[in-house]
Structure 1
Amino acid sequence: MITPYAKRLIRGDDLRNSLLEFVKVNGIQAGSLLTGVGCLSHANIRLANENNTLNITGPLEIITLSGTLTPQHIHVHISVADGKGNIYGGHLMPGCIISYTAELCMVEFNNMNFSREYDPQTGFDELVISDKEN
């Protein structure tokens, strides 16, 4: 019921765009990004207030990387550390560029479908989980 995946990204790859492309190419309908490690030359992270982004020039180490995956949308959080050990985190945005490598481990839940629908209580498109129809 679970299919594992692993992917290595290389210098110059955009982390978010590469991850979304991998999900689409592999037809992952309901997945989770379990872990990711690697280095970034630049990070673009949307902060918790949903309006501001943080642009950081590296070198940066990826400390945590996790989220939910669908072909229409990936909802991924990232934290990175700079050369002094300062940690920054939030929503993964396009513009997080791999400096050397990144290693990603993911799973697909073959018995489910994930989608997103507008939730008037939050004001955002939120995760909808359903059983996969056979």
Structure 2
Amino acid sequence: MEVRALRLTPGQDLRRALECAVYAEGCSAAFVLSGIGSLERAHLRRAGADDAEALHGDMEVLTLAGTIAANGSHLHATLADASGAVVGGHLAYGCLVRTTAEVLLGLLPRLSFRREPDLRTGFAELVVRQEGDPAGLT
């Protein structure tokens, strides 16, 4: 595993910036080790919902976790608003950094992550492969 530390700046889209950072490394398998910061706008899809909900105002990123694959991410975040109310869910595009986001990424250069349709769940789910292994790991 290789580790990269990132500091994102105001106005950057959190999810898109993380994906771009991983792809710029030529990596197709990564995960978030740690992530904190602040957002001015967020889009979270809550459990069982079809669409992401837009949230506005100053928010602290309390936790950030998930995987970044060659063809998509699966990221979860926990956010707190100015009153301390906490909400969490799937991190969608459109989460704009307010002052900073500090993220540690773990890059897995010998693995490949892809999201492929899973008939059991109805979603594109993570498939893990060793580089050069077409069958995938279970």
What TM-score comes out, normalization by structure 1 length? 0.93
Structure 2 partner of 1:12: 11
Q: Distance in 1 between matches of 2:128 and 2:100?
A: 32
Structure 1 partner of 2:73: 74
> 1:44-83 counterparts in 2 under 5 A?
44-83=43-82
Structure 2 partner of 1:42: 41
SS at match of 2:11: coil
Q: Distance in 2 between matches of 1:96 and 1:58?
A: 11
Structure 1 partner of 2:111: 112
CA RMSD of aligned residues (A): 1.3
Unaligned 5+ segments in structure 1 are none
Residue pair 1:45, 1:89 contacting (<8 A) in 2 also: yes
Identity, % of aligned pairs?
36
Structure 1 partner of 2:130: 131
Number of matched pairs: 133
1:113 CA drift (Å): 1.3
1:5 CA drift (Å): 0.7
The ranges of structure 1 where at least 4 consecutive aligned residues each deviate by more than 4 angstroms after the TM superposition are none
Q: Distance in 2 between matches of 1:28 and 1:49?
A: 31
Q: Distance in 1 between matches of 2:109 and 2:70?
A: 14
